Amino acid sequence: MLRSILLGLAAGSRAMTPLAAVANAARAGRLPRDSAAPALLGHPMVAAGSGALALLELVADKQDTTGDRIVTPAVVVRTLNAAFAGAMLAPRRRRWAAAAIAGTTAAAASYVSWRLRKAAMERHSLATTGLVEDAIVVPAAIAAATAR
How would you write 53-66 as a 3-class SS string? Answer: HHHHHHHHCCCCCC
- Give the whole-angstrom CA distance, residue 2 versus residue 64: 33
> Cα dihedral angle (14, 17, 18, 19), rounded to 10 degrees?
120
- pTM score, whole prediction: 0.91
The string of pLDDT tens digits covering residues 59-84 is 999 999 998 999 999 999 999 999 99
Residue ranges of domains in the chain: 2-146
The string of pLDDT tens digits covering residues 116-136 is 999 999 999 999 999 999 999
- Give the whole-angstrom CA distance, residue 2 versus residue 21: 15
